[in-house]
């Protein structure tokens, strides 16, 4: 083998080696089960999976031809190919312009319609249509654990979320201090948990299973251990869990809550047989003094609207709202 042919062989193998390297990280995905967003456990999750796949497919309509044509052009118009047209003065082609502008425009238009529709149909604040009555869960993001209060049953749990299957779950979410993000990828939609305000989320689990729940927003040193198991159980198993929780020796009274809200991480699952009445609202009101008035529908709606459009995320906006409320 001459030196020249060796270099040529190396040149030819280069792109192949790069291609092999590009696929290497995918070796970690042993099954679809590891890709949680693509393995939904409920209706909202399933619709979001479809949205991800449709958007991916539409974008690949551009990406794949571009990659293939790049390789083709590089090979076809290589210096050693004397048969290909050599046009150093070439500058414009109306046909190419039409293709490269029309296709992306059509894709952007299609995506825009699709996303506009799903943004409304999958609105996390929109109650789910179902024959079954929703289960209410009040979520408080603490540093660095999750507190779940079941106002209908009077029980609470830390770092464990029990849900009945085929019943919509109506979450009200707030935070004790740092902003976190409440997320059960297999059930769908993440939403922020913020002090002094209440966000909402509606999810449903179709099949029994244990889904990973986490905070999707970095919130300090205990963040990486701030996860919980969301257990979707058959309604009778869920009822059994509630009964079991009611038999717990632990109660969530004021002292217990004050101890719980102190920063700590890797807190084991804890179940409480009773909770301070109105704990969730008092956590929300604690950081929103001007809002500490009776929770009327219009009042709650105003807070939700703030949460929705993100105005209250801006502390100046919070102060303005607070000042306005004080004037009234
Ligand atoms: Cu906000």
Between the CA of 285 and the centroid of ligand 1 the distance, in Å, is 15
What local confidence, expressed as pLDDT, does residue 112 receive?
95
CA of 313 to the centre of ligand 1 (A): 4
Distance 307 CA to ligand 1 centre (A): 5
> Which ranges of the chain does DSSP label H, i.e. alpha helix?
3-23, 43-76, 94-121, 235-246, 254-260, 279-286, 297-309, 315-327
Task: Find the 121 Cα to ligand 1 centroid distance in Å.
Answer: 21
Strands 188-193 and 227-233: unpaired
Rounded distance from Cα 232 to ligand 1 centre (Å): 29
Could you tell me the distance, in angstroms and rounded to a whole number, from the CA of residue 272 to the centre of ligand 1? 29
Place of tokens 């030196």: 3
The answer to whether the CB of 140 falls within 8 A of the CB of 283 is: yes
Residues 6+ apart with CB under 8 A from 141: 147, 173, 174, 175, 176, 178, 180, 182, 193, 215, 219
How remote is the CA of residue 172 from the centroid of ligand 1, in Å?
Answer: 14
Closest CA to 155 of 135, 177, 173: 135
What is the distance in A from the centroid of ligand 1 to the CA of 84?
59
Ligand 1 centre to CA of 311 (Å) is 7
CA of 30 to the centre of ligand 1 (A): 37
Ligand 1 centroid to Cα of residue 223, in Å, is 19
> What is the separation, in whole angstroms, between the first and last Cα of the chain?
90
Over the chain (328 residues), the average pLDDT of each successive run of 10 is 56 60 54 76 94 94 94 95 92 94 94 95 94 96 96 96 96 95 94 95 95 94 94 97 97 95 95 96 83 54 52 44 48
Using only C-alpha atoms, the chain has a radius of gyration, in whole angstroms, of 27
Ligand 1 centroid from CA 315, angstroms: 9
Spatial CB neighbours of 40, under 8 Å, sequence gap ≥ 6:
46, 48, 49, 186, 187, 188
Q: Name residue 158's beta-bridge partners.
A: 147, 270
- Residue whose C-alpha is closest to residue 141's, from 175, 181, 182, 191: 175
| Whole-number pLDDT of residue 35 | 83
Cα of 140 from ligand 1 centre, angstroms: 15
Alpha-carbon distance of 115 to 254, in angstroms, equals 45
Are 190 and 183 in contact by the 8 Å Cβ rule? The answer is yes
Residues measured by CB to lie within 5 Å of ligand 1, the ion: 194, 312-313
**Could you give the C-alpha distances from 84 to 35, 46, 73, 197, 320, in angstroms and in order?**
45, 49, 10, 66, 68
45 vs 37: CA distance, rounded Å: 7
pTM of the model: 0.75
Q: DSSP labels for 71-85? A: HHHHHHT-TT-TTS-
pLDDT at 36: 85
Predicted confidence at residue 328, as pLDDT, reads: 46
Ligand 1 centroid, distance to 326 Cα (angstroms): 21
Ligand 1 centroid – CA 318 distance (Å):
10
Q: In angstroms, what is the span from residue 328 Cα to ligand 1's centroid?
A: 23
Q: Cβ–Cβ contacts within 10 Å for residue 153, how many?
A: 19
């Amino acid at each position: 083998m001459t030196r020249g042919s060796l270099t040529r062989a190396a040149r030819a193998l280069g792109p192949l080696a790069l291609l092999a390297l590009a696929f290497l990280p995918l070796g970690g995905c042993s099954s679809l089960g590891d890709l949680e967003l693509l393995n939904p456990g409920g209706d909202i999750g399933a619709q979001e999976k479809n949205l991800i796949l449709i958007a991916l497919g539409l974008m690949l309509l551009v990406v794949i031809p571009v990659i293939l044509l790049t390789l083709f052009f590089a090979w076809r118009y290589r210096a050693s190919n004397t048969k290909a047209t050599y046009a150093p003065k070439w500058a414009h082609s109306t046909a190419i312009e039409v293709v490269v502008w029309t296709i992306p425009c059509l894709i952007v238009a299609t995506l825009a319609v699709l996303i506009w529709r799903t943004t409304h149909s999958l609105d996390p604040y929109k109650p789910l249509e179902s024959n079954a009555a929703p289960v209410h869960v009040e979520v408080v993001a603490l540093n660095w654990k999750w507190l779940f209060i079941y106002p209908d049953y009077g029980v609470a749990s830390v770092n464990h979320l029990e849900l009945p299957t085929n019943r919509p779950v109506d979450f009200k979410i707030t935070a004790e201090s740092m902003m976190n993000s409440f997320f059960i990828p297999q059930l769908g939609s993440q939403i922020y948990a913020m002090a002094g305000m209440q966000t909402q989320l509606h999810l449903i689990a179709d099949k029994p299973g244990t889904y990973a729940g986490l905070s999707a927003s970095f919130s300090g040193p205990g963040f990486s251990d701030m996860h919980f198991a969301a257990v979707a159980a058959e309604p009778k198993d869920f009822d059994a869990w509630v009964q079991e929780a009611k038999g717990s020796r632990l109660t969530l009274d004021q002292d217990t809550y004050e101890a719980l809200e102190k920063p700590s991480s890797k807190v084991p699952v804890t179940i409480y047989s009773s909770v301070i009445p109105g704990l969730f609202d008092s956590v929300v009101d604690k950081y929103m003094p001007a809002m500490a008035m009776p929770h009327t529908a219009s009042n709650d709606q105003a807070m939700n609207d703030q949460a929705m459009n993100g105005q209250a995320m801006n502390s100046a906006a919070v102060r303005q709202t607070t000042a306005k409320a004080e004037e009234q």
